[in-house]
Amino acid sequence: MDTTDPLATTQDERTMALLAHVLQLIGWWIAPLIIFLLKRESRFVSFHALQALLLQIFHVIVAIGALVLWMVFIFSNIAHQGMGHGSPPPPMFFVFFPLIWLVFIGFWMVVLVLAIVYGIKAGRGEWAEYPVLGGIARNFLKIGPGGSAI
C-alpha cells in the first residue's frame, strides 16, 4: 500500500515557491512570471508564483492609477489657474504629491510584508493564499483548497 501524500511538496518545489514570493521584491512581475512558466508542471510552485504575479500586476495597476490621478489633478489645476511666467506651482502639487508618494510607499510595504510572510509559508510547504488573489489563482489553475484537484 502506498502511503505517500500526492499533495506533498519536494524541497525543490518549496524553494522555487519561496523564490517566487521573495524575488518579486527585486524582479517585480518578471521573476514570478519566469518561475511560473518554468515550473508549470508543479501545482504548488505555479500556485505560489501566480499569486506573486497577480500581486505585481495589481501593484502596477495601482501605481498607474495613482499617477494618472495625480496628473489629472495637476493639469486641471494648471488649466483652472493658468500658468504665467513666474507664477508659483499649483497648490495641488503640494497636496497630491505627498499623498501619491504615501500610496506608493504604503503599497510597497504591503507587498514587502506579503512577500516575506507568504515566502516563509511557501518555504514550509503550506498552500497559503493571499487575500482575494489566492482565490483567483486557484480558480485560474483549477485547483481546490490545499492543492487538491477540482
Q: What mean pLDDT is predicted for residues 118-143?
A: 90
Domain count of the fold of the chain:
1
Stretch among 33-42, 98-107, 128-137 having the lowest mean pLDDT:
98-107
Classified as helix, coil or strand, 96 is: helix
Residue 3 has pLDDT above 60, yes or no: no
- For residue 31, the model assigns a pLDDT of 92
For cell 502506498, what's the residue? 2
Within a domain: residue 2? no
pLDDT higher than threshold 70 for residue 143 = yes
- Whether 48 maps to a domain, the answer reads yes
37 found inside a domain: yes
Q: For 142, what's the count of Cα atoms within 13 Å in the CB-facing half-sphere? A: 1
* pLDDT of amino acid 50: 94
Query: 4 in a domain, yes or no?
Result: no
Residue 39 maps to a domain:
yes
pTM > 0.85: yes or no:
no
- What range does the domain containing 93 cover? 11-80+88-147
How confident is the model at residue 20, as a pLDDT? 93
Residue 52 lies in a domain: yes
Question: Which of 125, 138, 119 lies closest to 50 in space, CA to CA?
Answer: 138
Is 111 a domain residue? yes
C-alpha span between 82 and 63 (Å, rounded): 28
Identify the pLDDT of residue 14. 92
**Mean pLDDT across the stretch 107-125?**
92
- Identify whether 5 is part of a domain: no
